[in-house]
Structure 1
């Protein structure tokens, strides 16, 4: 198959691969239209679509010899019922599609998707099983591993990708090959970084530049606002308390000045999140001041109390050493007056020895937690070191777009630690489930199965 047309985007072609182009094609493929096509044409289109996904490296003549019209399926039986009856009465009224439940109600049986098992012989192939076990990023890569001698079946080297697995066979792939297949791609041969790391670094730099530009713009706006608040009226508002003032505008201006003072005095020591909260608080005060005329007099005090409690909540998240002393006093007095107005009983303050003991316990707990985190980080670094000589990016991380294909069928038992898997049994169809993974609709698979029946 031509390499440049392996993933077609104009005409979606699904492949057994973890490629991002293939993942895009998954979102575009649906049931082919059948309004203006004959039954022969519908079967041919369905055959070409399904064969393009289910191991297209196999020649059509080879697959035709492998095709089996007998589709494996199982019917779950109740062991209690089988212990009491011989099963002959189950043949009475076959085809009704109804089953008597224990409670006397009738429920409809789930249909068994037989047609979804059309390509079940291909699941026995060694290269397909390696891809299903997540040891390779595509069936083509799995074939390469087999041909190059990196795969063993029952402890013996196997170089034939079309080897038919039997129930109980164990196959294993060299761990270095699995890490290369499922790990992120390297940027250069002499660099341990991956393409994904480079893209993430560029995105972080772009986000940091945007954040700095936004902070600069907000700083300019805040400086302009602070310059307008340096009049005698603002100084008078700063000297008073919001609860002592009759003018709501003065109370709001006092709150805004306190928030701005916290920002100006401790901007270098505050975290970015706290700075964003204070800036958002200042913007909300400006909006409230602009809408003050539309607010009823009865709701003005509630609005001011809400803003005051919001500022107090922000201050609780900031270390008290970083908050200016006058702002702390203003907030404490405002909280006391608010509690007195609401008749809230004052909580007893702990004594100095109790505070010191509590602080010592907190410091000891934080030190122990920091030590545990540091030990875990060092262990991860030792287990997953940086090595430029590896053919994959280090420290190892899974490939992009892997999660969309990261599933293991029921007929495989996989151990990712030793890169080995056991082929437990042949895939079967159950009521409501077919164990052959396929992205196509059951109708499309049914048409493809009818094509290979040769009833034309």
Structure 2
């Protein structure tokens, strides 16, 4: 209970570290009676059942080995941040205590992530305006001049088709019908022929390539946007003033309608994409921590190795140790003045000897115990604390029963 072996327990008694009913005893063969209270010095108990205290040299070697591994890990994280981020997250899933620690604040994290997603969705929807859509279309005029078509903005065929119509109405240019855009076989053949004819005409005229096309003049684009989407004007009293239609582009009304359709389609696309990325609070397992490219900046710099000679001369000269799990101290030497491993930890393979007898009431907090009664022999049950087998106890009983004191 309070020692790791009978020999060590006898040694504690000889050194006067054990008391019975408050009286120090120094005889290992002392017989207890029912109701006796015995106690042991707590420091001796911690030393007896605790892990052995390492020497300064052993501790420094182990800590330096950990520092080297930790430095390699930090270098790897900085070299491959995204891959190591995934490794860290998978590591948490394999260790229940890390996963449980993560789940404590999981509900708050899910709510925070969903709030950020909705906020980003609203910002993206608010950024999609008729003027921004029109400006994006018109700024791709050089691409149109080189290819005869607008680039695919990645927003779907409806947006692409309407964007091309807006461009044609605003600039008066016509697009080439490619075979992919044709719906039936007849139109597809006609489209192929038209594309070949157009390609020959372009080749004959020696058109400029996309790299040689002059960049779009943004000032002219702004003037064109003003003719299609004029700013709202008010009079001295703050009332809106009607726009002079002669200042507008001929097809300004049709362009506005197409732009509003594009805005509606884009807003719905953004809303659908955001709803897909929302996390269901009822299913927290689906939550995946988003990758943060800045997470590596939170890692410390490389830790220098500890000088073993300096540590043996003056332990305080090498402290604090910057490894996060050592609390600034060497391994096992958090309190160097203690004769046992600190912070205290039980010695390995202690469980076979950690026996709680039925006839003794123990308080490990104060290292006190009450001897309630003598052990009772019952079939298939033994209350005698011993690592030996039942046969050995039978022979010991037969040997001592004839030599017991009368």
The answer, yes or no, to whether TM exceeds 0.5 is no
TM-score by length of 2: 0.35
TM-score by length of 1: 0.32
Bigger Rg over Cα = 2
